[in-house]
Amino acid sequence: MINRPQISVIAPVYNEIQSLPELVHRVQTVLDQIGMSWELLLVDDGSTDGSTELILRLATENQHIRPVIFARNFGHQLAVTAGLDYSHGNAVIIMDADLQDPPEVIKDLIEKWKEGYEVVYAVRTEREGESWFKLATASLFYRLIYRITDVKIPLDSGDFRLLDRSVVEVLKQMRERHRFLRGMSVWVGFKQTGVPYRRAARFAGKTKYPFRKMFKFAFDAITSFSYLPLQIATYLGFVSAGISILAIPVVVLLRQSGSQAFFGQATTLIAVLFLGGVQLISLGILGEYIGRIYDEAKGRPLYIVRYPINQENGQKQKEV
């Protein structure tokens, strides 16, 4: 029999051994104050620093903690997805394990939920302890996504949010591999609202999102919600075809009037290189989309869980 708590908190964990005890302590304090039943799902995304063992130990000491241990690193978004899959709460809260999303904000999220909102996202009004580069790229990213996609993702809101069970059930049916959860949770509709908060600095350790991962994440976000990159190739095609058609009479006239403009190899070379470049970029963009279709076509599981084993089916759990 599954005990259905009122609130599930999901935290994806990737090498956060130093933050975990503090995270558990603060979440516990806040939720005990609120006085609702709760569970904390710690999804270990293939940690190598001993976080896995710590999570399993914390779970034996604290009955609120439910560990989900991945077989390897699958990435932040999939760790959160697993959390959603394994959660039982009537409201589910997603937050980072590094305490950048202060657990105290959970109170505000739950208050809005009680007012009847089904998605309550936390909007960061300030961010502490982050490099100017991260701030600038993040700000640019949110504004770009807002401009080019059809889903109006609220500016400066991350994955820190509360989702009602009805929304979680819809999200659980969306099994796309390259996922941008904050876009997906807007796409589903429902009654949504925001709550402002100050994003704290990391409690300990370094960011697990180096530039390479950030770039991939941005690309996943764009490709899952927009065809604009594909359309850009079409626009470029029309523009360069248009320019060349206009250029023909111009060059003929110039030649007849004895001008030496656009004469010689350099002009040809530049035109060929330019078009070659545009074509390769277009092919690359096409490739990105096709690669994603290929990934979906393979239909592999989104993530592999090492522990708990088939807990949902009531089968025996692996011994800790």
Tally helices (H) and strands (E) across the chain.
10, 8
CB of 213 to ligand UDP, least distance (A): 7
CB of 123 to ligand UDP, least distance (A): 15
Binding of residue 139 to ligand UDP (CB under 6 A):
no
Binding of residue 209 to ligand UDP (CB under 6 A):
yes
Cβ atoms of residues 110 and 34 within 8 Å = yes
CB of 59 to Mg ion, least distance (A): 23
Alpha carbon distance 44, 48 (integer Å): 10
Binding of residue 68 to ligand UDP (CB under 6 A):
no
Reading the block at residue 272, the tokens are 């060929």
Binding of residue 77 to Mg ion (CB under 5 A):
no
Comparison of 16 and 164: residue with beta carbon closer to ligand UDP: 16
DSSP state of 130: -
Of the ranges 96-104, 180-188, 218-226, 276-284, which one interacts with ligand UDP (CB under 6 A)?
Answer: 96-104
Alpha carbon distance 11, 80 (integer Å): 7
Q: Using CB under 5 A, pick the residue from 39, 44, 45, 98 that binds Mg ion.
A: 98
Name the residue type at position 267: T
The DSSP element (H or E) to which 144 belongs, if any, is: helix 132-148
Strands (DSSP E) found in the chain: 7-13, 38-44, 65-70, 91-94, 119-127, 157-164, 192-199, 305-307
Total chain residues near ligand UDP (CB under 6 A): 16
Q: Using CB under 6 A, pick the residue from 9, 10, 14, 170 that binds ligand UDP.
A: 14
**What 3-state class would DSSP assign to 122?**
strand
Comparison of 23 and 162: residue with beta carbon closer to Mg ion: 23
Cβ atoms of residues 66 and 86 within 8 Å = yes
Of the ranges 169-177, 202-210, 257-265, 297-305, which one interacts with ligand UDP (CB under 6 A)?
Answer: 202-210
Binding positions for Mg ion, rule: CB under 5 A: 96, 98, 100
Binding positions for ligand UDP, rule: CB under 6 A: 12-14, 16, 45, 73, 75-76, 79, 96-98, 100, 207-209
